[in-house]
Structure 1
Amino acid sequence: MSQTHDIPGFQEIFDAQGQSLGAILGPEVWAEVREDIFARFAVPQAEPEKPEPLDDWHFLVQHWDFKYPVDLDVACPLCGNESADWEHDEPRKFRLTAANMGGLVSFRCLSCQARIIKRHFFDEVTADAVPYAPEKSLRNKGRAS
């Protein structure tokens, strides 16, 4: 079932119960509303990925003063992905996301997208894995709760 309104080039479509199913727009009407429709309903494009902070990693390695040698191994306990030398793997298994002089080094597992966090203390290294979440929690968005 369809109804014609007084708008040329516009036809609204209804089902047998009178519920609106949609509309047909003629070329003239479509030309008028096209940009507004795309602007309102466009899917946001993914932001380009930031480059790895390799300079930060190399600075940490250059000033390494821990009781143990530089550790290049990274393992993801969530999916089993592991590397003995993350920086030289081909193809890469992990991507560096952060490194600082305090010994905190963070990676993204390229298999399951989990975040692997290695904390280098003076006499030990600890590692944690945080499963991938498509959106940050409210706690991590800088909002007052």
Structure 2
Amino acid sequence: MIQNTPEFQELFDAKGQALGALLGPEAWAHVREAVLSRFAPAEAAAPEACEPMQDWRDLVQNWDFKYPVDHDVACGECGNITGAWELDEPRKFVLTAANLGGLVAFRCLGCQAKIMKRHFKDSIKVETRPFQPEKSVRNLGRGE
């Protein structure tokens, strides 16, 4: 068994099963490249790969609002703006949700804020929420 030092701390669960380890700065610098080359995730997929594009296409195909399909998105937090979010290169916004009820949500790639466009019969309501790294306690599941 490896002895715990200020640079290395093994972590175990209540049953004694290994969970992982905490490494200090010197230890991490020593093993960083080996760990990242072995365990780092593959190159991140393009934003489009995880977007619900079929949901967006379904909404556009079934568009029954009194105004044309809108492709503009503006971030109320950082001022990022586009007239055609799908055509931007590089992309400024990523589609995170779309549904037939008219809700379309985006994440700003500039500041990570959430932009929600709620399409109503005669109007569009746009709301921007600043990025929150963690959900509020209200939104977390409650386990026993």
TM-score by length of 2: 0.69
* Alignment correspondent of 1:39: 20
Long gaps (5+) in structure 1? 1-8, 13-21, 26-32
Identity of aligned residues (%): 53
* Alignment correspondent of 2:30: none
Conservation of the 8 A alpha-carbon contact between 2:92 and 2:108: yes
Work out the CA distance in 1 between the residues paired with 2:7 and 2:117. 57
1:131 aligned partner, one-letter code: P
What is the CA distance between 1:135 and its match in structure 2?
A: 0.5
Conservation of the 8 A alpha-carbon contact between 2:11 and 2:21: no
Work out the CA distance in 1 between the residues paired with 2:94 and 2:122. 25
* Alignment correspondent of 1:133: 132
Shift in CA distance, 81/39, structure 1 to aligned 2, threshold 3 Å = same
Conservation of the 8 A alpha-carbon contact between 2:80 and 2:92: yes
Provide the aligned length of Structure 1 versus Structure 2: 117
Work out the CA distance in 1 between the residues paired with 2:7 and 2:96. 48
Conservation of the 8 A alpha-carbon contact between 2:11 and 2:22: no
1:119 equivalenced with 2:122 (yes/no): no
Long gaps (5+) in structure 2? 24-39
Name which one, 1 or 2, has greater alpha-carbon Rg: 1
2:71 aligned partner, one-letter code: L
* Alignment correspondent of 1:80: 79
Deviations 1:68-113 (A, max 9, x none): 0000000001100000000111110000000000000000000000
What is the CA distance between 1:143 and its match in structure 2?
A: 3.3
What is the CA distance between 1:141 and its match in structure 2?
A: 1.6
Shift in CA distance, 24/96, structure 1 to aligned 2, threshold 3 Å = closer
Moved over 2 A (4+): 22-25, 33-38
Q: Look up the SS of the partner of 2:20 in the other structure.
A: helix
1:138 aligned partner, one-letter code: V
